[in-house]
Chain A
């Protein structure tokens, strides 16, 4: 018959092991940590505050540099434009506007409704020539 195993039959034995020299090194490791804490505690608050600020300084300076450059270029741009336009003659400005002026359909309708003569003038034709063109192409008969 198999004998029943009881706790009292088992010799008390520590089955766990530690690395060699562990307990010789442990006090020093703990003392290092307490010393580090004491150092932090004894450091004046201004110095503790300064540390993160010091780390943030480089990106902060870079950001200020970018912002400064951007603002400076924004201030310079309109003045340059004014100067450039001022050097142009009236004829050059007129030529530019003639070449690039665009008229929306809505603008054209507004002009036509306001003044027929102005529309003819705007199209660079005389009112008589415009009438002749309309008759020739029979545009008046077309329904849009």
Chain B
């Protein structure tokens, strides 16, 4: 079902639940994987995904029909991730290095992670990036979003996003060269 049709049905009380259920089914994987790549832990990603959809449920009536639904959903998911990571740092007074260590530890020890040595090394290299740079790298490299779409989601200029992605890629390759 097209987004426009979903929104139309959501606005009618009798088809509201059905429309929202279809919206969740359509976007749940995109939202979950976007979050999971940022927070690594499945339980955290599960909680945040649910929170994102609850927010969508509460605010969908106020959504501007001229905007793209999936960029709006992406923005909510991105904000939830960044808030979660910053609150985690505040809560435990952790500097950036420690949160990286914590996420790397989860990556190494979790039974929900699969992949060869090179894949894991790439993941570790990505985790060493600052949160926003990591976000940009994930969106471009894994989700294959266009810079224009990313610009709309993150509220940052295309030029700044290109620069951020190239710096991130360079840092990752430097890490990959190390033994």
Contacts and interface: CB of A to CB of B under 8 A. Distances in A.
Contact of A26 (B20, B28, B173, B177): B28
Chain A, interface size category, equals 20 to 34
Interface in B20-72: 20-21, 24-25, 28-29, 32-33, 36-37, 40, 42, 46, 49-50, 53-54, 57-58
A128 B54 CA distance: 105
Nearest to A9: B118
A31 B142 contact: no
A19 B21 CA distance: 21
Interface in A21-56: 22-23, 26-27, 29-31, 33-35, 37
B42 to A, nearest CB: 6
B177 A4 contact: yes
A7 to B, nearest CB: 6
Contacts of B12: none
Interface string B149-179: 0000000000000000000010011001100
A142 interface: no
A25 B65 CA distance: 29
A17 interface: yes
Contacts of B96: none
Given A6-B176, A10-B118, A10-B122, A17 B112 contact: yes
B37 A16 contact: yes
B21 A27 contact: yes
Contacts of B57: 34, 37
A103 to B, nearest CB: 72
B141 A7 contact: yes
Mostly, the B contact residues are helix
Contacts of B115: 13, 15
B82 interface: no
Interface in B71-115: 112-115
B113 A16 contact: yes
B128 to A, nearest CB: 14
Contacts of B118: 5, 10
Given A14-B33, A37-B57, 18 more contacts: A5-B176, A6-B173, A6-B176, A7-B141, A7-B173, A10-B118, A10-B119, A12-B141, A16-B33, A16-B42, A18-B32, A18-B112, A23-B32, A30-B28, A31-B20, A31-B24, A34-B54, A34-B57
Interface of B: 17, 20-21, 24-25, 28-29, 32-33, 36-37, 40, 42, 46, 49-50, 53-54, 57-58, 112-115, 118-120, 122-123, 141-142, 169, 172-173, 176-177
12 contacts: A5-B118, A7-B173, A15-B113, A15-B114, A15-B119, A16-B40, A16-B42, A27-B24, A30-B24, A31-B21, A33-B50, A34-B54
